[in-house]
Chains A and B, each alone.
Chain A
Amino acid sequence: MSWYVLRRVGTSLITLFGATIVVFLGVRALPGDPAVALSPENNDPAVLHAIRVRYGLDQPLPTQYVVWLGHALRGDLGTSPKTGLPVTQTLLERVPITLELALLALLIAVAIGVPAGIVAAVRRGSLPDYLCSTAALGGLSVPHFWLGILLILAFAVHFPIFPASGFVPITDPAGNLMHMALPAIVLGTGLTAVIMRQMRSAMLDSLGADYVRTARAKGMTEWKVVGVHALRNSLITVVTVVGLQLGVLISGAVITEQIFIIPGIGKLTLDSVFNRDYPSLQGVVLITATGYIVANLLVDLTYSLLNPRIRIAGGAR
């Protein structure tokens, strides 16, 4: 077990190291001179040279990378030329907003996806199964940004129940929830579909397993068979899938936050691209990749704890 954990942590660190190189080189591949971006009003060569020296842009790329990585490891991701604020401070303010949005989306997805998946599996081939499966495919097919526009049209323009856009800090819980409701529904729709399909598939596997047949043969009630035995085993798969959906949630947050003007890291990503705010872009992409790698690691380790076959196979390799 410890060998499997060490191996898995090792590969995650290598992946994270690779991600830092991609982030560093990727941001430098963006069109435009960062020195010009830092001084858009004054293009005097002497000023631009001074900026390059000050920010180390005159150094060779490997040197710039080592310096940047050293600072990043100490929590210093530079200063945004657009806002004048440290990138780390901006991220600390914005990450919780996206996390809240993702958590609300996840809650909606689990609250709808898990029961729908169970019903679809237990009533396989019936009308509820057909309806749930079709709705799930619909959820996967509807583009986030279009759904966002439709919800604004319905629940902010025609029936003004929710605000069309904007954000209220969590210090005002009611206002915060009102502003987060529509974005969370938009972000949760695709995830609901994924969870419903996974739940249905896992439940069908469980319901066909020998232990369920044994439980039924022993006279256990159907409620107990489904609710206790089949559900418990199916949830392991679903928990894993939910963990691996972090990337999908962040992808969705990029466009959802843009439509609803929510100041999270999704909107920061796009704003940084459009404003050529390289330090912020570097920081936000790095934090996203790190979050994804760590979430994957935690999911893998949790799953290996729950399913011994994984760690045995992993350790034997």
Chain B
Amino acid sequence: MTATAAPAARPRTRGGRTRRKFLRRPPAVIGLAGVVIAIAVAVFAPWIAPYDPDTVQPATILSAPFTGGHLLGTDDLGRDILSQIVFGARASLASGVLATLLGLLVAVPIGLLAGYYRGWRDSAISRVIDVVLSFPFLVIAVGLAAILGPSLLNEVIALAVAQVPVFVRVVRGEVLGLRELEYVEAAVVNGAPDRVVLVRHILPNTLNPLVVQATVAIPTAIIGASVLSFLGLGEQPPTPSWGTMLSDAQQYIAQAPWFAVFPGLAIALTTLSFNLFGDGLRDVLDVRMRS
């Protein structure tokens, strides 16, 4: 008598099926792993970094990688580059994630109002969004950072404002389609107040495209934050940030190329992870942006 292997149990819930589909996509899984690692590095930075990132060691200025106990070498002040990158993950990820969350917080109610009520409210909101969109992302971010002054909080605000128009368009586009569906009309006919229709029936159905858009927005904001720090308009020294490291490295590019290579690699790998993860989510959730 031979034992027959029981067929693998098929997930019955929608969440289970989505998870299964996601796990079948190696690039998406690699992206998710990269995102988890980046977040873990930022959270556990004090335990991961081999040195204090601010400790200046004049004896080891611009040491090459794998010398003097410095895996990725040292910078122009003799600080350990690996430790700076590990602690720099905090500022970069915080900027990317917080700017995206703040952008969503502002944009979702505006997008819901524009898409649900249409008419003059939609026209007015759409025109304002068009105006903001007519300024390139970096011009808005640089302009606002210059107005508000250089700091992490202001960097987050500047990047969030630059993200708002795209989020509003995504939400509005989704709501325009959802409000025509029968279950929404049924809720309206049954006398549900607008607030209930919007929050209970429409908002949950805009979440998939919003999650996908957020995973695209976070890497954009991370790069934006690095640019602002690079230009001296973001997080200020001595707090380590990847953009500031690259800015400092520019003048030592011939003598110490590793000083510029590793922080940039950290930015590229982090944004690549978010992009792979976002692409996988979009495929799995079958989201087609209607904005």
Residue of B nearest to A246 (CB): B136
Select which of A11, A18, A143 is within 8 A of B268 by beta carbon: A143
Interface membership of B264, Cβ < 8 A: yes
CB within 8 Å for A143 and B135 given contacts A18-B130, A152-B253, A153-B257 = no
Complexed CA–CA distance, A252 and B143 (Å): 15
Contact in complex: B257, A26 (CB < 8 Å): no
Say whether chain B's binding surface is mostly helix, strand, loop, or mixed: helix
The size class of the interface chain A forms with chain B is 35 or more
CB within 8 Å for A288 and B267 given contacts A141-B275, A145-B230 = no
- 18 inter-chain pairs at a CB distance below 8 angstroms, sorted by A residue, are A15-B131, A16-B134, A22-B135, A29-B147, A30-B147, A137-B27, A137-B275, A141-B219, A143-B264, A144-B227, A153-B254, A247-B133, A247-B136, A251-B138, A255-B227, A255-B230, A289-B135, A292-B135
Say whether chain A's binding surface is mostly helix, strand, loop, or mixed: helix
Closest Cβ of chain B to A8, distance in Å, is: 11
Contact in complex: B227, A137 (CB < 8 Å): no
Please give me the 9 A-B residue pairs with the lowest Cβ-Cβ distance, nearest first: A146-B264, A18-B131, A251-B138, A141-B272, A251-B136, A141-B271, A247-B136, A289-B134, A15-B130
Closest Cβ of chain A to B151, distance in Å, is: 13
Residue of A nearest to B137 (CB): A251
Chain A residues with CB below 8 A from B263, complex form: 146
Query: Taking beta carbons and an 8 Å cutoff, which residues of A are in contact with B?
Result: 11, 14-16, 18-19, 22, 26, 29-31, 134, 137-138, 140-146, 149-150, 152-153, 157, 247-248, 250-252, 254-255, 258-259, 269-270, 273, 285, 288-289, 292-293, 296
Contact in complex: A250, B279 (CB < 8 Å): no
Chain B residues with CB below 8 A from A255, complex form: 138, 227, 230-231
Select which of A15, A137, A149, A270 is within 8 A of B264 by beta carbon: A149
Interface membership of B214, Cβ < 8 A: no
- Of listed A134, A149, A157, residue having the most chain B CB within 10 A: A149
CB within 8 Å for A137 and B279 given contacts A143-B267, A157-B254 = yes
Chain A residues with CB below 8 A from B181, complex form: none
Interface membership of B121, Cβ < 8 A: no
Complexed CA–CA distance, A296 and B136 (Å): 13
Closest Cβ of chain B to A86, distance in Å, is: 22
Interface membership of B104, Cβ < 8 A: no
CB within 8 Å for A31 and B246 given contacts A146-B267, A152-B253, A289-B134 = no
Bits for B248-274, please: 1 = Cβ < 8 Å to A, else 0. 011001100100110110011101100
